[in-house]
Structure 1
């Protein structure tokens, strides 16, 4: 098997990143759509000021996540055929990371909003904290701890270092 060129590696990195963003984009768009319709549903007028504040945090975080996760597409359009794939991959990596962080905030806030609406507040806080830990475990702890599990994916590790 022939060794890929630097240009091919950047193209592969970009393609891989776009695939990842497609998955995240679907999730954040569904959450954002839910949050956009929530104030117009029956029962929303019964929310407390705390719940409204949590709703605004969830909504704005979902909007921010949506913008960041979709932004590599706009960036790609602006840089199309300019030979700046490394810059595009670095930018997309940062936007994906920021978008995932905002998505985490939005999801945990949405869980807090719903659980606070149907349960006692202390229980809602506990369940929201567990939700945050659950997401952090799968989105941060496990992936970053995996970096030291062996050298079977050397090329991917090298690519990650270049992207960051």
Structure 2
């Protein structure tokens, strides 16, 4: 909720900050979050790029090669989405549109996390298919994906819903 202050600047309840201060804080927090995800996606993507140059790649079944190609493309897309907020900031910095930049960077980060989740699931599927031919592989991958969804999306959304003060 927004309240007026003696200087006339609008301040949000709960924190004593203007809209500009809030955007600055949210931007710094977002960049810290993106750094964690960027490191993970870049390491995973780097390893994925090396697979094609290993002797084992020539022994992959056609289905596994397809999974690999899809996984590399997903990794590239995730990398782009998670690096996007940095480029966005560079190109709009100083234009007095930080609240909108935070909004768009947040969207890019969310898309990047979804793409990272799918990339990790596809990577796990490929690795487990190559490591074992057992029928439980899809179930293991599904369980890991469910775990990611719970940790990355369900818990944060539940927490937001449960503990966020409703606008009046």
Normalising by structure 1, we get a TM-score of 0.88
- Structure ranking higher on relative contact order (CA contacts 8 Å, 6+ apart): 1
Match of 1:38 in 2: 51
Deviation larger for 115-124 or 5-14 = 115-124
Match of 1:133 in 2: 146
Match runs of 1:81-160 below 5 Å? 81-120=94-133, 122-151=135-164
Structure 2 residue aligned with 1:78, among 66, 69, 91? 91
Instruction: Mark the structure with the bigger radius of gyration.
Output: 2
For 1:148, what is the secondary structure of its paired residue? helix
| Count, aligned residues | 154
- When the two chains are superposed, the root-mean-square deviation of aligned CA atoms in Å is 1.7
Q: Separation in 2 of the partners of 1:143 and 1:101?
A: 14
Deviation larger for 36-45 or 90-99 = 36-45
Q: Structure 1 regions of 5+ residues with no counterpart? A: 159-164
Give every structure 1 segment of 4 or more consecutive aligned residues whose post-TM-superposition deviation is greater than 4 Å: none
Q: Separation in 2 of the partners of 1:28 and 1:97?
A: 13
CA deviation map 1:51-85 (0-9, x unaligned): 11111111111100100110111111111111110
